[in-house]
Structure 1
C-alpha cells in the first residue's frame, strides 16, 4: 500500500505513525530524571560508639627520671683478728643486730694463758725495778760518805733505768695479750642487718680466713644515680643554680610501685666521670620498714620547683604514625584528629605541651575504626581519669 505524505505550507510532513513514535520517546526521556529524583536517599552511616576522657588542666611539677641504686650508708665486713677455733656463732642470719652485739666467739684458754703469762712478766719487772731503785739509793749514800765510788753509783743508776724499761715492755706485752683475748669475742661495730655466715662452729678461723659475715645499716638508706651533664646544665638554667633543698626524690621499684618516703639530695660529686660524662648524685631516704635493700636497682624521679598548670590526658588516647603522635577529639558529634606535642608522663597520663585545650573530649577507646569526620557516639570512660 502506498503511504501518503501530509504537506503543510508546502513542507512535507513525516508519516503519522513515525511522528507518534518519536513523541513517545521524547516524553519518556524527559520523565526519567523525575523518576530518579523520586528514588529514596541512601541511609546515613551509624555513629561509632567511643569512650572519651576530658583534657584537664592540672598542676604538674617538672620531673626527671634516672636509674639508680640503693646503698647502705654503713657496710662492714666482719673478720677475725686472731686465730683460733670458732666456738660459737651467736646470731641468726638475716636478723637485725645492735651495735656491740656478740656475733662470734673464739675459744679463749690459750689467749687467757697469754694474759696470765704477761701479768707474771709485769710483776717480775716491778720487782726488778724496786731492787734497782734500792741499789741506786744505797750507792748514793755510800758516795756521799766517801765509802763508795762514782762508778758504782753510775752503774746503779743505769740498772734502775733498765729495770724501768723492762717494766714498760712487760706492761705492753700484757696489754697486747689482753687485746687479743678481747678479739676472741667478735661483736658488731654498727647497728644493721647481718647476712650469711661463711663459717660455723668448729672451724679454725683467723685474719687469713677473709669475711665471716657482712653487716649493713638499714635506716636511712642512700640512693645514688648518675646525672648527665646535659640534664645538670638544663636544671641550672632555671635559677642559675640548682636548689638541692627544693628537690624531691621519689623511688620507683621494678614493678612500677612508688616508694612512699620522699628523699632529699645530700651529695653531688666534685668531678665528672670521664668515661660517661655524668655526675654522681646521692640522696638519703628514710627506710623505717626495711623495704629498701642494699644494692637494689631502682628508678629515681626528681621533682623541683613550683608546679605549672599543664594539659593532662590519659596515655591510652595516644596514637602514633609516621608523622608523630595524634589523638581523636570529639567535636559536634564527629571525630577530629589533633596533632600534639607530648611532655613527660604523669603516672598513667601524659602532659600535652601543644595541640589541645582544657575541656576537650579525647577518645581513649574505640578509635580503631575511626576516620576523620566520622560520626561518633561518645560516653565517658569508666574508671579512667586524667588527673595528675
Structure 2
C-alpha cells in the first residue's frame, strides 16, 4: 500500500516540477532584455546644402500716407482714378475754393491798406522830426507820431500773417500727392461734404522699393544685429521671398532695420527687409515666406528626420556600435524634404538606426537588417 501511494504522489508532482522548470527556461528565452531588436541602419554622410530659415512675413510700403481734408467744404473735383500711379505734387482732390479764394483776396486788400497807413504815418513822422530839429513842434506830438508808426507796422505784420493763413487754406483746398506712388480706392465722390480730418479720402503708398516685415525671437537678435553692423559680410542672396503660389520672387532683399525693442509679453521684435519691386509684383498687405540663409551652407551632415527622437526638448539618434546602440545627443539645423542637417553630435561614416527606434533604449542589442529604406532625398532647397 505504501509503495502504491508513493508512486501515485510522484506521478502527480513530476509534471508540475517539469512545467515549473520549463517555464523558467521559456521566460529566460522570452526576456526582451536578452533579445536583439531588428533595426534598419542608415549610413551617415555629407551632402551639399543651402540651408535657410523661413519666417512668415507681410509686405509693407516704405511710405504710406492717409489723405484727409484740412479744410471744410464740398468735393468739387477728383483728378485721378482708383489705383492710379501718381507723381509727387500731382493734383488728387479739390475742395470748393470759392470762400477760401475770397478770404485770400480780402486778406491781400487788408495788407495793402495797412501798408498805405504805415507809409502815411512814416511821412508824418519825418515831417515832425524835421520840425522838432527846428524846435517848431511840441515833443509830445513827435512821440505820438512815432507811436503811430509802430502801431502801423504791427498792423502790417498782422495783415501779412492773415494773408499767409488765407493762402494756406486756399492751398489746402487742393490735395496733392506727397510722393510718387499708387493711390487706393477713393472713399468719397464729387459732391461729398468734408471737414478737417474727416473723412478719410484715400491712401497713397509707395511701391518701389517695398519691404517685408517678419518677427524674430530675442535669441536671434544678435544674429540680425550682426548683419546690420557688417553689411559687407552678408552672403549673396541672404534674404529671399517665396510667394503664396510657391514661386520664388526673382529679386533679393537687404536688411534695413531691426525694431528698437523686444516685446515684454511676446519676447519678439520685428525685422524689416527692403526688396526691389520694378514689376509691382509685391503689393502691400501680401503674406509671404521670408527665407534667410543660415549657417548650414556647403557640405553638411544630413540624416532622415525620422531617425531623430525628442526627449524633453532635446534631440537624439541611436548610433550603432557593433551589436548594440548608443543614444547620442545631436544639435539639429535646417529641415528640408524629410531630411535634417545635424550641426553637432554626428560624423560622416557613422551608422544610425533608421527603422525600429520605438523598441530601443541605451545599450540595447540590435540585429541590423538591409538598409532598403534608406532615403536619398536631394539636399538643396
TM above 0.5: yes
- Report the counterpart of residue 111 of structure 1 in structure 2: 100
Match of 2:276 among 271, 280, 286: 286
Q: Shift of the alpha carbon at 1:259?
A: 1.6
Kindly provide the CA deviation profile for residues 68-95 of structure 1, in whole angstroms up to 9, marking residues without a partner as x: 2221111101111111211111111112
Q: How does 1:273-352 map to 2 (within 5 A)?
A: 273-304=263-294, 307-310=297-300, 343-346=333-336, 348=337, 350-352=339-341
Instruction: Say which of 206, 213, 216 aligns to 2:205.
Output: 216
The match for 1:249 among 215, 239, 249 is 239
Asked whether 1:128 is paired with 2:88, we answer no
- What is the Cα deviation at residue 255 of structure 1? 3.2
Deviation of 1:56 (Å): 8.4
| 1:21-67 Cα distance to aligned partner (Å, 9 max, x none) | xxxxxxxxxxxxxxxxxxxxxxxxxxxxxxxxxx9854324422222
Q: CA offsets, 1:155-200, max 9 Å, x none?
A: 0111111111111111111121122111111101011111111111
Contact 2:228 2:257 in 1 (8 A): no
Q: Aligned equivalents of 2:380 and 2:227: distance in 1? A: 31
The one of 173, 192, 198 aligned to 2:187: 198
Distance 1:352 1:226, change over 3 A: closer
Structure 2: gaps of 5 or more residues: 1-43, 318-327, 355-367
Q: Cα distance 1:374–1:156, how it changes in 2: closer, same or farther (>3 A)?
A: closer
Match of 2:73 in 1: 84
Q: Distance in 1 between matches of 2:341 and 2:117?
A: 92
Q: Decide which structure has the larger Cα Rg and report it.
A: 1
- Rounded to whole Å, the distance in 2 between the matches of 1:67 and 1:311 is 27
* 1:313-364: CA deviation from partner (whole Å, max 9, x where unpaired): 8x8x9699999999xxxxxxxxxxxx9x875234x46345388979x9xx9x
Indicate if the aligned counterparts of 2:296 and 2:333 stay in contact, CA closer than 8 A.
no
Contact 1:193–1:218 (8 Å) recurs in 2: yes
Give the aligned length: 304
Counterpart in the other structure of 1:331: none
1:1-388 map, 5 Å: 58-232=47-221, 235=223, 243-245=230-232, 246=234, 248-304=238-294, 307-310=297-300, 343-346=333-336, 348=337, 350-353=339-342, 387-388=380-381
**Backbone CA RMSD of aligned residues:** 3.8
Structure 1, unmatched stretches of 5+, are 1-54, 327-338, 364-371
| Distance (Å, rounded) in 2 between the aligned partners of 1:271 and 1:385 | 40
Q: Structure 1 residues 356 and 229 mapped into 2: Cα distance closer, same or farther (>3 Å)?
A: same
Change (3 A) 1:232 1:119: closer
Distance 2:108 2:274 in 1: 50
Residues of 1 paired with 2:141 and 2:85: CA distance? 67
- State how far apart, in whole Å, the 2-side matches of 1:311 and 1:241 are: 29
